[in-house]
Copies of this chain bind each other. A is one copy, B any other.
Amino acid sequence: MAIKVHGNPLSPAAQRVLLCLAEKDIEYEFVYVDLATGQQKKEPFISINPFGQIPAFEDGDLKLFESRAITKYIAYAYADKGTPLLVEDPKKMALIQVWSEVEAQRFDAAGQKLSFEILVKPIKCWATDEALVEQLQAQLATVLDVYEKRLAQSKYLAGDNFSLADLNHVPRINNLMKTKVRALFEQRPHVWAWCADILGRPAWQKVLAGLN
């Protein structure tokens, strides 16, 4: 099979890539990377991602890493398949880029650390830093306040259609929904409706079914 995803199915970054492939209805081979034995820090993995982090991706002779670069590649190279996730018009495309940057630089900057404190640390029997959790929740709330105003104006972040900017949020939101951080989403009606919409998409349900 031409397309391979190297990762761990529990990683939100790997799930981001799987979701993008599901929206595009593209077949792939999943190559399990055993993080417990540090497989991601050794060859052959580091010849794909020299930073030694999952996911990594192959499409024939093309080798990629960084989940958001991978989803952009899939959306661009397979534009004609499945759900359109990018657009050609430069001004509409620019809005997808803006909200994709917001996801990476603002939303997930807080979301990733919150997941680590609330979801990962308890599994490892490490103590959660409650002061940091408070600070990160305040940071995420500020981001969600902007989203609430934005989503009152358009159904999705970059306009009236679901795009890569929304897609990139899904795995992190899915994780945070299992925690007390869920309240931050519930308190904002437009954000809450948007979450229900993007988490309810058949492609995400298919990814979740594949994980179980």
Contact = CB atoms under 8 A, between A and B. Distances in A.
Interface in A90-104: 90-91, 93-95, 97-98, 100-102, 104
A76 interface: yes
Dominant secondary structure of chain A at its interface with chain B: helix
A98 B65 contact: yes
B76 A98 contact: no
Contacts of A69: 94, 97-98, 100-101
B50 A149 contact: yes
Point out which of A59, A65, A73, A94 has the most chain B C-beta atoms below 10 A from its C-beta.
A94
Nearest to A50: B146
How often does this chain occur in the complex, in copies? 2
Given A104-B105, A146-B51, A149-B50, A90 B65 contact: no
Contact of A76 (B66, B73, B93, B146): B93
A102 B53 CA distance: 12
A66 B150 contact: no
A191 to B, nearest CB: 14
Interface in A69-85: 69, 72-73, 76-77
B50 A73 contact: no
A51 B94 contact: no
A98 B149 contact: no
A133 interface: no
A51 B91 CA distance: 20
Given A76-B93, A77-B90, A104-B105, A98 B50 contact: no
B106 A62 contact: no
18 contacts: A50-B146, A50-B150, A51-B146, A64-B94, A66-B102, A68-B97, A69-B97, A69-B98, A69-B101, A72-B94, A73-B94, A73-B97, A76-B90, A76-B93, A76-B94, A77-B91, A104-B104, A104-B105
Q: Which 7 A-B pairs have the closest CB atoms?
A: A77-B90, A66-B101, A69-B97, A73-B94, A69-B98, A69-B101, A50-B146
